[in-house]
Structure 1
C-alpha cells in the first residue's frame, strides 16, 4: 500500500515537472507540438493565454459566465483546428481573431435568444451610471441611427414606425397601404441590414448596448 502511494506521488511529481517544463518551452516549439496533437503543449498554451482571452471577452460581453463560455469555446476550436495553424503568422493575433469571430456569432445569437440578452443586460445594468458606460451607450445609439439611415426609404420608414413609434405590423400596414406580410418581410430585412452594419463597423464594445434592442 505504502509502495503504491509512493509510486503515485512520484507519478504526480513527474507529471507536474513535465507540465512545468512544457510551460518553459518557446511558443514556436509548443505550436509545432500542438499541431502534432500534443495535449501538454495545448495545456501550456491555455495557461499562457486563457486569462487574456477571458478578460478580452469580458470587456465586450460584460457577463463573467458568457466570457467563460467564450474562452472555453475558443480553446476547443483551437484544439479541433490545431493542424491548420500557420506557424508563419502571429499566434496571438490568430487566437484573438478566433475570439472576436466567436463573439460576433454570440451577438448574432443574442438577436434570437432572450437568455443571452438577459445575461448581458444583467451586467450592463450594474455599471449603467459609470461615465464611460454612459458615453458608450450614447455612441451606440448614434451608431444605430447611422445604420438605420442606410436602409432604403420604405424599409427605413417601416423600421422606424415599428421600433421607434411602437406601431404593430398590422397598424403599419394600414398606414402605408401594404400587407402585414410585406411589413414583416421588410422588418426581417431591415434588422438583418442593421445588424450587419453594426458588425462590420467593428465597434464591438459599443454594439453590445444596442444589439438586444434591434
Structure 2
C-alpha cells in the first residue's frame, strides 16, 4: 500500500504524470489551504478565492500527463493562482479591494516579486486605457498627471479655458473609473504611484 503523505512533491508529480489520482489528491490536500488563503488575501472574496484555487487544480489534473516543472511545485502553484487572479482582473471581475491593497502595498514599500509583477500588469492596463483616450483629452490628462500642472497652467499652455481643462480631466477620470470599476479615491492612489 502506498502512503502518499510520505512522498516528496517530486515523487507525487511523477505519479501524477502516470494518472495516479491518489497522488493528485495528496497534492490537493497538501496545498489547497495555503493557496486558498493566498487567493483570499488578494481578492478579499471567499467564493472567488475558492473558484480560483479550484480552477488551478482542475487545470493541473487536465494536463497531468504532460505536467512538467522547472520550479518547485509550491512556486508553480502560487504562480498559477497569481496568474489566474490577474486574468480575472484583466476581465474586470475584481473591484476596489484588490486595488486598495495594491495601493497599500506601494505605500508600505514591500517590494516582492509577485506584487511587483501585479503592479506592473495593472500599470500597463491603465497606461493602455490612457493611450486609447481621444488625443486632446489624453494630452490634457497627461499634462495634469505626469507634469503636475494646474488647470490654469494647462489652459494657458494650450490656449483653452480652465473650465475646458477641468471637464477633460474629469471625463478622463470617469472613463478610467468605469473601465476598472473602482472608486475615485482608489484611482487617485493608482494615478499617484504611476510614473
- Taking structure 2 as the reference length, the TM-score comes to 0.54
Task: Using the TM superposition, give the Cα deviation of residue 86 of structure 1 relative to its aligned residue in structure 2, in angstroms.
Answer: 2.0
Q: Partners of 1:148 and 1:87 in 2: how far apart? A: 33
Which has more radius of gyration? 1
Q: Partners of 1:85 and 1:164 in 2: how far apart? A: 49
**2:30 aligned partner:** 48
Which of the residues 67, 71, 86 maps onto 2:53? 71
1:33 aligns with 2:38: no
Deviations along 1:43-70, one digit per CA (max 9) or x if unpaired, are: 0000111111111111211111110110
Could you list the runs of 5+ residues in structure 2 that have no partner in the other structure? 109-118, 143-165, 181-185, 191-195
1:59 aligns with 2:64: no
**1:11 aligned partner:** none
Q: Which runs of 4+ in 1 moved over 6 A?
A: 137-140, 158-163
Number of corresponding residues: 142
Task: Using the TM superposition, give the Cα deviation of residue 25 of structure 1 relative to its aligned residue in structure 2, in angstroms.
Answer: 1.6
Task: Using the TM superposition, give the Cα deviation of residue 76 of structure 1 relative to its aligned residue in structure 2, in angstroms.
Answer: 0.3
SS class of match (2:19): coil
Cα RMSD, aligned residues only: 4.4
Q: Partners of 2:71 and 2:23 in 1: how far apart? A: 18
Deviations along 1:145-164, one digit per CA (max 9) or x if unpaired, are: x8489748646248788884
Q: Partners of 1:94 and 1:27 in 2: how far apart? A: 12
**2:147 aligned partner:** none
1:135 aligns with 2:104: yes
